[in-house]
Structures are given as structure tokens and as C-alpha cells.
Amino acid sequence: MYPPPTGPDLTAEQCQELDDTFLSSDPFGYFSARIGMMLRWAESDVDSDEHPLAAPDDEQQHTTETRGRFARLLGRPVGFIPETSPRSIATQVATDAYALRHHAAEALVRLTAALLQRTNVAESCVWEALSAGPNQLDQVVSQLRLSFSSAEDPMQFARLVLRREDLQSGMTEQLASASNVFADWLQFAIDLLVGHELQLNAAHNKVKHGLSVRARDDLKVSFVTTPPSADGTIPVGALAGPDAVDIFDRPVIEVLAQAPKVDGHRQGLELTQLRVDVPAVLAEAYMITWAHAAMFHVAATKHFEGRADLPDYLDAPAHPGYPVGGLHPDHVSGKAPIGMRFPLTTPPGGGPARRSAGLAFRDSFIPLIFTGSAMSNVRVVADEATEEA
């Protein structure tokens, strides 16, 4: 229960009570549960008698009760589970894994910005800073970069993710390595949200706002150096030969969105195709979540320290530990392509499109130049030794 407001700003007591609630939550458990749920669902056998998300034996009774009530509410037989095809599962998992990674990235970026903006620790509220901060992500990132603009940046960030008791004896090589790993994943999260050649965050917005995307697992795109023969055909074997480079060999999310402005000028519609390697995307989501959990623990510990009168239900969530071995973003996805983009219309104000078609990697973009007429790809599968496409 909260008494009526007494002014336009939160009081010190309200700040403490609100952060008592927020900072005793467990965001690491939330994100970890979602990652685990998707891994179990992705590996499930949909033709088996057991539901793909069936719980272990000690949780089976609760799961059965939930499923039974779900069926009864729909007027269906007990045990009813909506029929789902393997293809639907594959594309759903790819879409949700992509959305989960962005959800975690935004959580980390916004939490970092909120903690760095606190000026009077005794009377500020983390929950308020998160809830009342800028809505636009580019503003949040600008705020974040401004806060990290001094020579004290490395140590300033380290204090956000490293336990205070671990720093009492000074910065060790192991602690510095852990802080650097967390910092790299913060930068990775920022890159997902703003500034990439492809519309990565627009894809996430299109997923959560009406699901106006197309997820598919039937799109195969390869680059080959084998030239067409005189009749314009390419041997099917060339698509899997040593000179072929797979661009799309995993599920793909296709996004239609207005291209971002170039030098202040609006652009036309753009189609973006994003490669989703589900295990890698979930691993990236986990590392982002790990950094977020470390930061959340440090903030919560700082909030609760020195208060001997705390009830048992108010406590900081556990620190997730430090990454061992220096798992940086490049170690997960490596040099795999991110996706491709294709401008579809010219700018509404006139003139040519200022964003070319191209293939994007994590840190580079290769423009595509079209020099001839389009050709349809027709694959003929026969018993002959030579197949052509």
C-alpha cells in the first residue's frame, strides 16, 4: 500500500520502498528461463506423447494442472495441446530467439544508462530512472556515451559489474578481464540497438508490434564464383562446391520497413533479410543477460547494504559470477554474415535511394552492384549424373 502523493517528486522514503521492490527481483532468472524454454522447445519431438515443454518429474503435477486448466478454459479435452508443425516450431524459435536477444540488449543498455545518471544516490530511485528515462533508444545510447566520455571510463564501468568486496584489494588481472568481457557485451548490445548497416532494431520492433515480419526456413542463398555456362545455367554442384559461400543456411527473418534517414533525408521502403543461427543468438542473449545480472546485483547490493532491519523477502539477487576464458562477441558468431538489405522504393522526396543493396557482417558492409537483367533460378532434379540449375 502506498499513501497519496504529496508532491511532484518522489520522496526519499518512496525511492527506498520502490527500489526495495524492484532490486529484489530476479531478471537473470527471467531471461535464463526463457532461454531454457526455447532450447527445450527447439529440441522437442512434436510427434511424441509428451508436450515439448513437459517439466521434470518433480514439476510434472503443476505442469499437468496448468495444461488441464488451459484445456478446460477452451472447452477442450484434458491434455489438449495446439497442434504445431516442426516448421512452425523452427520459425517461431528463430523469431523469439531474435526478440529475446534484443529484449536483453535493451535491458542492459537502459540499466547502464539509468545507473550512470544517478546523481544523489541517497535519494535517487533506480526504478524511476529506468521507467521515466528517454523512450528513444538513440537518446539512451547518447546519454550512455556521454557518461562514458572521461578517462575514468574503465574503472567507472568496472564498479557497475564487479562486486565491491572483490575490488577491496585492488583490480586484479582476472577482474579486469571479466570487466572487459562485460563491457564488450554492452557494446555488442548497443550495436544491436543503434547504428548498424541493417535495421536490426526495426526487425525487433516489427516482431513485437503486430508480428509484421516473415520468418522462414526455406531460403537458401549462396555466392558462387563458378560462371554460368553458355546457356545461362549453373551446375547444381557449384552451389555446394568449394567455391560456394553460404549466406543463408539458417532460418531467416524478413523485415519490410522504412529505411533510416541519410544526411537528414528520408529514404524509401527497404527489405531486410536477417540470418538467425538460433544457438548462437541464444548464446549471445545469455552473455548479455550475464552482464545485466552482474550489474543488477551490484546495484541491488549497494541499495540494501547497511540495513539490518530488512525482512527475509527483501534481498539482492545473487551475483552470476565472472566469465572465465574471456568469451567475447566475436567468439560466438565469428565471421558469419548478419544478413542482406534491398531498397525497394526511391525516397518520398525524390532522388535516388542513398542506401545501396548489400551484404552485412558484424563490422563490415559489402554493397551489391546489379549489372544485368534478373535471372530466375530453376532447379531441375533428375536421375542423370549431371544436374543443372
- DSSP for 191-256 reads HHHSS-SS-HHHHHHHHHTT--EEEES---EEE--PPP-TTS--BGGGGGSTT-EEEE-S-EEEEE
Q: Is pLDDT at 21 greater than 80 in this prediction?
A: yes
pLDDT tens for 79-117 read: 788 888 888 999 999 999 999 999 999 999 999 999 987
**Residue 287 CA: distances (Å) to CA of 40, 101, 148, 176:** 19, 10, 21, 17
**How far is it, in rounded angstroms, from Cα 276 to Cα 91?**
10
Ordered alpha helix ranges (H), the chain: 12-22, 27-42, 60-73, 86-116, 126-131, 137-147, 153-161, 164-167, 173-193, 200-208, 278-304, 330-333
Q: State yes or no: pLDDT of 163 exceeds 70.
A: yes
Instruction: Identify the three-state secondary structure at position 151.
Output: coil
Per-residue model confidence as pLDDT tens digits over 144-160? 888 887 666 778 899 99
Name 265's Cβ contacts closer than 8 Å, sequence gap at least 6.
Answer: 347, 349, 351, 354
Q: Is 26 helix (H, G, I), strand (E, B) or coil?
A: coil
Q: What pLDDT sits at residue 152?
A: 67
Half-sphere exposure of 196 (CA within 13 A, CB side): 25
Is the alpha carbon torsion for 305, 311, 314, 317 positive or negative? positive
pLDDT band of 46, cuts 50, 70, 90 = very low
* 247, 338 Cβ separation under 8 angstroms: no
- Nearest Cα neighbor of 111 from 205, 22, 35 is 22
Residue 378 has pLDDT above 80, yes or no: no
Residue-averaged pLDDT of the chain: 86
The model's confidence at residue 385, banded by pLDDT at 50, 70 and 90, is: very low
Find the mean pLDDT for residues 325-352: 89
Report DSSP state, residue 260. P
What share of the chain in percent tops pLDDT 90? 55
Q: Taking 70 as the threshold, does the pLDDT of residue 56 lie above it?
A: no
How does residue 379 score in pLDDT terms, banded at 50, 70 and 90? Answer: low
More confident: 242 or 291:
291
